[in-house]
């Protein structure tokens, strides 16, 4: 049985990873998210798109409780995220920040620290597992002993992805992981992420403004604007035949996107 099959939902398991109902988020008098209801597919690759300031990051942060909503519900696998013990939630839901922050030491130190912090029961990160995690993130084993501070931007992203994988998460959240990368490096990273999902069956939710990435990797697309869902659906449908004029305009404006 492959890892993907191992993680595929059984007959009684929910096919939805995240279920949001009427979620609102506010900061002071500003409304950042205004009545968001969504069902994000388990095992899918959701691309969260929309103009800058639309609320994409604010939404992503609710999914592993970096923030809590002002009102509304967020469920993961049929259970309110607020009901998980926070450590369990964070272990099951990895988060890759837009700008990777490396812990001190080597790539190996980064993976070991993440594993320790999570107090997880998944296997300790010995040499073989470190090599396997780095490989899933598209780095060869020789990176284990490289000082993390000396790595390039793209390599730091990969270490940060490998680090998020140390707890065997069911979900990986990524906030514009390629925003600061050259188009070629970004393409390779997207390829790695798509492959990672295929081999592990992990659920991915990625914020991106690079439409080509959404086209290549996404199975599900959510278009946000001004804190509301403009359109959500299967990637093939939304990308080729967006229902809403706003989504079509956004997608067309992105045609010239260098990446």
List 57, 160, 167, 208, residue binding ligand ADP (CB under 6 A): 57
Q: Does 202 bind ligand ADP (CB under 6 A)?
A: no
Structure tokens at 58: 């604010």
Q: Quote the CA–CA distance of 122 and 211 in Å, as a whole number.
A: 36
List 17, 32, 118, 137, residue binding ligand ADP (CB under 6 A): 32
Choosing among ligand ADP, Mg ion, none, which partner's interface includes residue 53 (Cβ < 5 to 8 Å by kind)?
Answer: ligand ADP
Contact 151, 102 (CB under 8 A): yes
Q: Does 160 bind Mg ion (CB under 5 A)?
A: no
Our CB check for ligand ADP shows the closer of 56 and 156 to be: 56
Choosing among ligand ADP, Mg ion, none, which partner's interface includes residue 203 (Cβ < 5 to 8 Å by kind)?
Answer: none
Instruction: Please classify residue 188 by burial: count the beta carbons closer than 10 Å to its beta carbon, then call 0-12 exposed, 13-18 middle and 19+ buried.
Output: middle
Q: Quote the CA–CA distance of 222 and 14 in Å, as a whole number.
A: 20
Q: DSSP states of 59-116 as a string?
A: HHHHHTTSS--SEEEEEETTEEGGGS-HHHHHHHEEEE-SS--PPSSBHHHHHHHHHH
Q: Quote the CA–CA distance of 126 and 87 in Å, as a whole number.
A: 22
Structure tokens at 20: 């949001």
Contact 47, 40 (CB under 8 A): no
Binding-residue pattern over the window 57 to 96 for Mg ion, x denoting contact by CB under 5 A: x---------------------------------------
Residues 28-57 touching Mg ion, rule: CB under 5 A, are 56-57
Stretch touching ligand ADP by CB under 6 A, among 35-43, 48-56, 124-132, 181-189: 48-56
Our CB check for ligand ADP shows the closer of 55 and 201 to be: 55
Look at the block and give the residue holding tokens 């296997």.
123
Stretch touching ligand ADP by CB under 6 A, among 39-47, 55-63, 114-122, 146-154: 55-63
Our CB check for ligand ADP shows the closer of 137 and 221 to be: 221
Choosing among Mg ion, ligand ADP, none, which partner's interface includes residue 30 (Cβ < 5 to 8 Å by kind)?
Answer: ligand ADP
SS3 of 252, please? helix
Q: Does 56 bind ligand ADP (CB under 6 A)?
A: yes
Q: Quote the CA–CA distance of 64 and 86 in Å, as a whole number.
A: 8
Contact 59, 36 (CB under 8 A): yes
The DSSP symbol for 7 reads: H
Choosing among ligand ADP, Mg ion, none, which partner's interface includes residue 52 (Cβ < 5 to 8 Å by kind)?
Answer: ligand ADP
SS3 of 170, please? coil
SS3 of 244, please? coil
Residues 9-28 touching ligand ADP, rule: CB under 6 A, are 27
Choosing among Mg ion, ligand ADP, none, which partner's interface includes residue 58 (Cβ < 5 to 8 Å by kind)?
Answer: ligand ADP
List 13, 15, 37, 53, residue binding ligand ADP (CB under 6 A): 53
Rounded CA Rg of the chain: 18
Q: Which chain residues interact with ligand ADP by CB under 6 A?
A: 27, 30, 32, 50, 52-58
């Amino acid at each position: 049985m492959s890892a993907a099959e191992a993680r595929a939902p059984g007959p009684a398991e929910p096919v939805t990873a995240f279920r949001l109902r009427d979620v609102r988020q506010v900061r002071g008098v500003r409304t950042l998210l205004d009545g968001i209801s969504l069902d994000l597919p388990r095992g899918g690759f959701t691309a969260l798109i929309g103009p800058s300031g639309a609320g994409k990051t604010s939404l992503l942060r609710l999914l592993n409780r970096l923030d809590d909503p002002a009102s509304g519900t967020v469920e993961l696998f049929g259970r309110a995220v607020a009901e998980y013990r926070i450590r369990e939630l964070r272990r099951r839901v990895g988060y890759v920040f837009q700008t990777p922050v490396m812990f001190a030491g080597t790539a190996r130190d980064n993976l070991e620290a993440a594993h320790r912090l999570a107090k997880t029961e998944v296997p300790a990160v010995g040499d073989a597992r470190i090599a396997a995690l780095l490989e899933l993130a598209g780095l060869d084993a020789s990176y284990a002993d490289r000082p993390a501070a000396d790595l390039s931007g793209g390599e730091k992203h990969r270490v940060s992805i490998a680090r998020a994988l140390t707890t065997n998460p069911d979900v990986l959240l990524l906030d514009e992981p390629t925003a600061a990368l050259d188009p070629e490096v970004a393409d390779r990273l997207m390829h790695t992420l798509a492959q990672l999902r295929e081999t592990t069956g992990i659920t991915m939710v990625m914020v991106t403004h690079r439409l080509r990435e959404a086209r290549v990797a996404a199975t599900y697309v959510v278009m946000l604007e001004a804190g509301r869902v403009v359109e959500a659906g299967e990637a093939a449908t939304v990308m080729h035949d967006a229902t809403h004029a706003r989504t079509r305009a956004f997608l067309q404006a992105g045609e010239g996107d260098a990446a």
